[in-house]
Structure 1
Amino acid sequence: MIIEDEFLKFFGALPMKTRLHMHLTAAVLFSGFLLGLMPAVIHADDTSAAEKQDAAASQAEPAYQPLSKIELRRKLNRMQYDVTQNEATEPAFRNKYWDNKKAGTYRCIVCEQELFDSKTKFKSGTGWPSFYQPIDEKVVGFRNDWRLIYTRIEVHCSRCGAHLGHVFDDGPEPTGKRYCMNSASLDFVEAGKTDKNQSATGSSASKDAKQD
């Protein structure tokens, strides 16, 4: 307390101009101290953001690795392989999903990318499963098919390139499109069921497939 009183007496005895100068000097020094801390704070925030990005990247789905021809022949039955790899067409009215009315999602038989929702499936009378739109425009790709006397638009999976079927301009609203797909290129996952629930069904289907 004695030191503090002596300092106040000394400070009060100084000229007003000197005291103002001391106040300004102290303010400048304090501001410099704060500015010196800012880079460290910003760097800490950047590091935190980078760590968050790394964590999100580690949890992201790994990039799809294409299967070799040998692996594809092991995974697919003869019809599935011919359709998805050689652009063959399965028989009308004698395929797995042409008359399937269950709710669920249709995935690519090769890479399991989700392609069509059952809500967009409609009765086309063609004998093949038909949809008026895919789940997302990005899940399918297109190219011209010149194998017949007229040009058709071939549809394939955007991730693995598996042939799915063709798209025509005679579908219902709201798109007016008919995605005429091969059942052999699709795998159906019923709504409310997980892959584990369907593992038994998948095993039996695989056994049936080997008989094709």
Structure 2
Amino acid sequence: TNLIKTFSGNHSVYAEELHDTFIEKENVWIIDPISNTINFIHGVPFYSIVLSHLYKGEIKFAVIYDPSRKELFTAEKGKGAFLNNKKINVSNNQKNLLILADYHWELDKKKILRVLEVLMEEKNMIRILGSYGLHYAYVACGRADVVISFCNKDTFPEFAGKLLIEEAGGKFTDLKGGVLNTQTRGIIASNSMVYDQIKNLISSVV
């Protein structure tokens, strides 16, 4: 963050530990130094470093790095998504989906379980791996098909996943198909072929 603040121009940094006042800033850098801290503390090798850059409110660049596997996922607006400099794309799978779920313990657990139940009724496989950054990266490169995320706070850190998945050919919206914003409390991210199917499946319980 200290390096970013030396850049010329109007720059600001947003992180869990450091909230600048940046609404009017041209350049905003959003950083999550460890996604997921609990996995990291317990020695579970599934965590990531997440960074994105917004210019005048538009996501321009995103990085998700997996230190355990030395995998660097990057995306630049209009230029595609990459894993270690090799172009990646979302899957085209339409059945028996691998769905990665993410939630916060403070949220309505009955609602979350009902959403997951609806998805499992269609013979989809649900996994909760712990790092939202890697969840999005895995959908972007086709290792998984869908992410369902339930958020309890602002969604600025999720912006990196949005750019990565959209540049890889996928879709990224709130649970009802709306545009992601800082008040979004739930996210669907998926390959384009199953997006409508997932949104319609959960529409009655969200």
> What TM-score comes out, normalization by structure 2 length?
0.23
Greater fraction of residues in strand: 2
Per the normalisation by structure 1, the TM-score is 0.23
| Structure of larger gyration radius | 1
